[in-house]
Structure 1
Amino acid sequence: MSDIMDITGFILSGSLITIQLFFITAIFSIPLGCLVALGKISKIKPIKAVLSLYTWAFRGTPLLLQLFFTYFGLPVIGIRLSPLAAASIAFTINYAAYLAEIFRSGIESIDKGQFEASKVLGMNYCQTMIKIIIPQAIRNVIPPVCNESINLIKDSALVATIGVGDLLRAAKEVVTRDFTITPFIIAAILYLILTSVLVMAFRKLEKKYSIN
């Protein structure tokens, strides 16, 4: 029992990195995704073209490749980043591309009549988006954003490939040292706990917006 507690404690220390990466990515990718989504629905063609190229490139290539490029590729041009910084940048840019498409579809799902009604009320574009469109779009995008959040928790395991001591890397180290599969079982349970907490949080958020 004491061995299991020691193993769990060691793996939990790795889960702190997983949680840290999750929050860093969420904090920066959500607003970036919103800005990209608004740019893609704007009437300025050069901006739409550049942002479409961005989402196409980062959604169409593996996150692992982007992670390798950020950590191993950037030093070639003189930009050296710590493993966690490289992972944070790669994850943020990647997830912002996915979230941008989610937010764009959420905004475009709102009936165009509401834009026209806001004009009748004398609202400008920014007022319309902030007070009418975005609050309704948020309700529509909660389920897919929840799915992306769960994927983010699982994708965080990729950072082990560049030497970040996350939850999975901690489990692998114990497996290599002790020749037992128990750490993998503990890691699986911890991943399930983290994703379950996310699901419950999003369900409460969805319920709140459905009432509103």
Structure 2
Amino acid sequence: MAYHETRFAHDDRRKVLWRTLCHSYFQRLVAPSDAVLELGSGYGDFINHIQCARKIAVDQWAGAVDYLGPDVQAEISSIVDLGAIADRSIDFVFASNVFEHLRQAEFATCLVEVKRVLRPRGTLNILQPNYRFCCNEYFDDYTHVAIYSDRSLCDFLRVNGLRVVECKPRFLPLTIKSRLPVWPALIRAYLASPIKPLAKQMFVRAEVDCNTWPE
């Protein structure tokens, strides 16, 4: 059986979660005129629910196309090669639970591409497990090959020419398989609360350091 049939099987609760996350949190970071790129889009739950002028989803899984809305441009390729996307054409890059699946050299290559496609003041937005808070279950996913905490991820971004503008070490629970029910009202309350029980995922935002902007 494939990864998407075992560890990452389709779950309708994920749509409820991401619809609420986009409406109640992420949409405020995206302007109606923005071009949004999602790296490792999977079932398309983020890119399908965010509202913007242009949507692009990149995933090496061919099955991703079947889950994307008609307004999403699909690119079936590795996220380390964004050759189909023009220089400085993207305002908002989003990656959820992606970079822990890449070797550091691949991550660095991906960041070169992200810096190339981002417009001035565009941002890279990363949601992923924070190893500081989930070390016991981190490798329950056998495809995890790299370890990042909020501290090491921010350092890695800086070393690779990005400036961290926001870091939330505790943002969301690790998985929808946690004990918390997936209810929109509860999700909104969780986002608004300064106390985050079971929060083991971090959220980091970064922009291109103008001193390292690619020529």
TM-score with structure 2 setting the length: 0.25
Between the two structures, name the one with larger relative contact order (CA 8 Å, sep ≥ 6): 1
Greater Rg over alpha carbons, structure: 1
- More helix per residue: 1 or 2? 1
- More strand per residue: 1 or 2? 2
